[in-house]
Amino acid sequence: MNRRDFIAAGGLLAATSLLSATPAWARGRRLRMGVIGTGMRGQVHLTELLRRDDVDVVALCDIEPIMLRQAQAMVAKAGKPEPKLYGADGDVNAWKRLLETRGLDGVIIATPWEWHAPMAIGAMQAKVAVGCEVVAGITLQDHWDVLETQLRTGTPYMLLENVCYRRDVMAALQMVRAGLFGELIHLQGGYQHDLRGVKFNDGNPAHPYDSGVEFGPKGWSEARWRTEHSVERNGDLYPSHGIGPCAMYTGINRGNRFTRINAFATKARGLHDYTVEKSGGTTHPSTKVTFKLGDVVTTTLACANGETILLQHDTSLPRPYSLGFRVQGTKGLWMDLNHGVHIEGRSPPHEWEDFKAYQDQYEHPLWKQYAGDAAGAGHGGMDWFVMHAFVEALKAQAPMPIDIFDAVTWSAITPLSEQSIAQGFQTLDFPDFTRGQWQQRKPIFAFDARY
Ligand SMILES: NC(=O)c1ccc[n+]([C@@H]2O[C@H](COP(=O)([O-])OP(=O)(O)OC[C@H]3O[C@@H](n4cnc5c(N)ncnc54)[C@H](O)[C@@H]3O)[C@@H](O)[C@H]2O)c1
């Protein structure tokens, strides 16, 4: 290479690195997005992305060709340009090539839990903004690694915790702010969802639910990977749906923080009994498996400002779905299970009132503005809100509504609850991921934002 070529090459290199050093999300324009994991959940997110006219879905990645083809067909049906496809060859690292897509602004990560931390870290290192499905990582160290990468790279990261956008949850937040409950004292929430028919199926993509007792390589969708966590782990495996709203109500990482945690687990019966009943005997290999996950895991958190929060993970027994929220203060309480509220001086003494009138009166401004747009979207509309928040924050180059500190704090409850249970239900210190900043940090959560 002569000197002129060398300088020209250097110039090109400089121009290229200038381009990559200023990712499109930092230039604020129409977004070029990718989706990693186009399974059941990834397709819900894809639906929301395809409905938008400020987003181009330019790349899709999944190692399961059926899921990838379904996602590809969705894009075609929406009349949008063909995205680049990755992973059809089954390469579990195909997502790394997706991240090299020119001008990629952001990715949605909707893969099995064990992939969230490495994929998010890889994306942030590549300056590709991350919208990550719950959870942030598996081990406590994963959570520190995801945090450190975000802080070092400055790449936006949002945990896509949709329950924070539930209509009644947001109305209850308005009530907290209006002081209806007085000073907050105790909160409850959880993930109470009979997943037996999700953790097992017959492995046929046509019937992902309630169709059999296979799991692992013979299962389909979540049965393929989620059930293994019930075999190997004992803790609150899915804390963010419950803790997200409770953390927002109590201002965690924003003037408050978790200080202590412990968890108790019951014996494990539900998953075994299900495989026996569903297969009609004890000969199927799934009936021989020992499940480590206690049927009901109860986690307690203490907060610096004196509140306690109780979470329950309950996914292996017959029960109707309920997240079991309770927000209780010096003047009253709301519970979602009975749609009930009681406010001293307003409600008849010792009686519940129906939440509906409060819901209407304290409707959150976001729901007032966007209920029509969210109509028909997954989980009663909240899936529209969570994607809207991520996209709008990215375009506005604004702080992420559910940011890295929220993500790791909520998600770290899993490894900490596992540790507590493993150590005989011991109470542990809760790490301060903000390293003291929680005392000065101001609220920036979506509930305060325009989206
Ligand atoms: N927030 C919610 O309400 C909600 C609801 C359902 C699922 N989720 C979360 O979404 C995530 C995905 O769950 P799901 O129900 O879609 O599961 P799923 O099994 O249907 O989809 C996961 C997809 O990831 C793909 N995958 C696995 N490894 C991969 C890799 N290395 N590279 C690319 N793709 C890979 C799988 O082939 C599969 O298609 C999980 O974290 C789950 O907890 C959240």
Per residue in 16-64, pLDDT (tens digit) is 333 344 555 555 578 999 999 999 999 999 999 999 999 999 999 999 9
Provide the pLDDT for residue 450.
Answer: 65
Any atom of ligand 1 within 6 Å of the Cβ of 41: yes
Position 444 scores a pLDDT of 65
| CA-closest residue to ligand 1 atom 6 | 41
Nearest residue (CA) to ligand 1, atom 39? 39
Cβ of residue 133 lying under 6 Å from some atom of ligand 1: yes
Give the ligand 1 atom nearest the CA of 378: 3
Q: Which residues pair with 354 in a beta bridge?
A: 340
Ligand 1 center to 48 CA (angstroms): 16
Alpha carbons 287 and 322: distance in angstroms, whole number? 28
pLDDT at position 115 is 98
Is residue 112 within 6 Å of ligand 1 at its C-beta? Answer: yes
pLDDT of res. 9: 37
Q: What is the pLDDT of residue 212?
A: 98
- Structure confidence at residue 11 (pLDDT): 35
Residue 91, classed as helix, strand or coil, is coil
Sheet holding 55-61, edge to edge: 84-86, 55-61, 31-36, 106-109, 129-132, 157-159
Q: Which two tokens stand for residue 157?
A: 């990261």
Q: Please tell me the distance between residue 229's alpha carbon and the centre of ligand 1 in angstroms.
A: 14
- What is the distance between the alpha carbons of residues 158 and 133, in angstroms, rounded to a whole number? 9
Predicted pLDDT at 449: 59
The tokens describing 127, both together, are 């300056």
CB atoms within 10 A of CB 343: 17
pTM of the model: 0.94
CB-CB contact of 355 with 339 (8 Å) = yes
For ligand 1, the distance from its centroid to the CA atom of residue 115, given in whole angstroms, is 9
Report pLDDT for 445.
61
pLDDT score recorded for residue 377: 87
**375-431 per-position pLDDT tens digit:** 888 888 999 999 999 999 999 888 999 999 999 999 999 999 999 999 999 999 999
- Ligand 1 centroid to 368 CA: how many Å? 31
Q: Enumerate residue ranges in the chain where pLDDT < 50.
A: 1-21
- SS3 of residue 307 by DSSP: coil
